[in-house]
Amino acid sequence: MAITMCDIAKKASVSQTTASLILNGGKASSRFSDQTAERVRSIAAQMGYRTNRTAAILRNQKNCLIGVLSGGYRMESFGGLLEGISKTVEPKYGIVPAVHHYDGQTERHCLQMFVDMRLSGVIAFWSGDEQSIPFYHELSEKYGIAIVLCDSSIPNLNVPYLIADNEKLAYMAASTLLEFGHREILGLIFQQPQDVIANMLISGYRKAMAEHNNGNVDFITSTLAATPIYSAEYVKLVSQYVDSVIEYLQKDNFKYTAIWAQDDLIVYDLMFKLNRLGLRVPEDISLIGMGNRESSNLPQINLSSVASESFVENGCIVSRSLIANIECNKTSAICLDRKLKVFLRNSIRKI
């Protein structure tokens, strides 16, 4: 027997009108508390209720679908992010995943596909290709499709974005090493000196050192142009950068007791090359990375790292923001806050 709105309303202890407004969306649904809305949607899902998407499209002139455009399925954060999005938007909205592999032409094709499908909203990782910027503006301003960006913002695009707080990441990494008694610390910043990210990392690093009355703020930036983390060239460029770091350390006779690095991947390669030189982690040198990649928790690596507390929670954050924009029909260029955490493992020793 088909599940009716009346059945759901009765079980959720709300009126039929309330249940209908919550499940069908639109501006009116935002008047209810998050707890009430979650209870109604959860009960509807348990009872096997399916929203009449055709009717919703006719009402809103948009599909009840959300596009998720990522750089690649290999992104370790993508699975958690997608789980968080799914938990937040379903069953009211369906999800349409797409991948651009950091190729601007593919990205623009995906954005046009989203327009053709008349999606309600898009959560996107910008490829970095400036030719795609007008497409994002058109998506938001011409077609009225809500957008939330992940890992970047786009100039003059008035949409929410979730990015890493690089200043805080560096501050937390350096502070952790300082709290373990280290004073001879080196920072590894895989960015060119003029890059905004480099300046933010250096700023956080300086702040941590100043709080511990340590004026030695030593770091190594890169001479190489930054590439997307998940591009094929990234690992090769990281290896070249780590080679230059090893050369620098040898010239200084390995005076540093601890190193923090912008990405766990940098530390993996550094660990291997230090081990080849007979240096042990953490007995000879303590290390901490950023990103908390899955491999960091492996017994043979056991790398301490600073990262988002939960990729699933990040997915919830961006999707809640997107739904608010869809249903209230307004948006603003705000940076969404995400919680950071130090994941302590055996790569740091106390001195």
Sign, CA dihedral 190-292-278-216, equals positive
- SS3 assignment, position 51: coil
Residues carrying CATH 3.40.50.2300, the chain: 60-159, 166-309
Can you give the pLDDT at residue 61? Answer: 61
E strands along 91-160, which residues? Answer: 94-99, 121-124, 146-150
Can you give the pLDDT at residue 46? Answer: 85
Beta bridge partners of 298: none
**Assigned fold of 60-159:** Rossmann fold (3.40.50)
Pick the CATH number of 166-309 from 3.40.50.300, 3.40.50.150, 3.20.20.100, 3.40.50.2300: 3.40.50.2300
- The residue-averaged pLDDT of 4-9 equals 86
pLDDT, tens digit, 9 for 90 and up, residues 205-257: 999 999 999 878 999 999 877 666 656 678 889 999 999 999 999 988 899 99
- The residue-averaged pLDDT of 272-287 equals 95
Can you give the pLDDT at residue 47? Answer: 82
pLDDT, tens digit, 9 for 90 and up, residues 142-188: 888 999 999 888 888 999 998 889 999 999 999 999 999 999 999 99
- The residue-averaged pLDDT of 35-40 equals 87
pLDDT, tens digit, 9 for 90 and up, residues 20-37: 888 876 555 567 888 888
Query: 3-class secondary structure for 231-250?
Result: CHHHHHHHHHHHHHHHHHHH
**Assigned fold of 5-50:** 434 Repressor (Amino-terminal Domain) (1.10.260)
Distance CA 345, CA 27 (A): 47
Residues carrying CATH 1.10.260, the chain: 5-50
- The residue-averaged pLDDT of 56-77 equals 72
Closest CA to 211 of 172, 164, 175: 175
Can you give the pLDDT at residue 170? Answer: 97
Distance CA 160, CA 141 (A): 14
Sign, CA dihedral 148-107-86-60, equals positive
Mean pLDDT of all residues belonging to the chain = 87
pTM: 0.73
pLDDT at 281 over 70: yes
- The residue-averaged pLDDT of 317-329 equals 87
Q: Are strands 340-343 and 304-308 parallel, antiparallel or unpaired?
A: antiparallel
